[in-house]
Structure 1
Amino acid sequence: MNESPRKRNILVGLFIFIGLIFLLAGILMVGNLHETFKKKMQLVTVFDEVNGLQTGANVWLSGVKIGKVKNIRINPSRNVLVTLAIEESAQQFILKDANTKIGTDGLIGNKVVIIYGGTANSATVQDGDTLLVGSTYSTENMMITLQKNNENLLAITTDFKKISHKLTTNEGTVGKLLNDDAMYDNINSIAISLNKASVKSEKLIASLNEYSSKLNKKGTLGNDLVTDTIVFNSIKKSVLELQKMTKSANVFMDNLKEASANPNSTIGVLLHDEKSGASLKRTIENLESSSEKLDEDLKAAQSNFLLRGYFKDKEKEAKKAASQK
Structure 2
Amino acid sequence: MYSRVNYTLIGVFVILFSLGILYFAFWLGGKGSHDDNKIYMLRMKESISGLSKDSGVKLKGVNIGTVKEIRVNPKNIEEVEILLSIDKDIPIKEDMKGVIKMFGLTGLSYIEIEGGSNGAKSIESKDGEIPLIKSGDSLFVDAETRLKHISDKLADILDRGDKLLSDENIKNLSSVLKNTDKITAKGVDIEDKVASLMVEVNTTIKEFRVSFNKLAKGYDELALNLKRDMPPLTKSIKQTSDNIDRLSIEIEKTVKRGDYNFKKILQPSINDIEALSEELSRLTRELRQSPSDILFKSRGSRRGPGE
* Higher RCO (CA 8 Å, separation ≥ 6 residues): 2
**TM-score interval, smaller chain:** 0.3 to 0.5
Normalising by structure 2, we get a TM-score of 0.39
Normalising by structure 1, we get a TM-score of 0.37
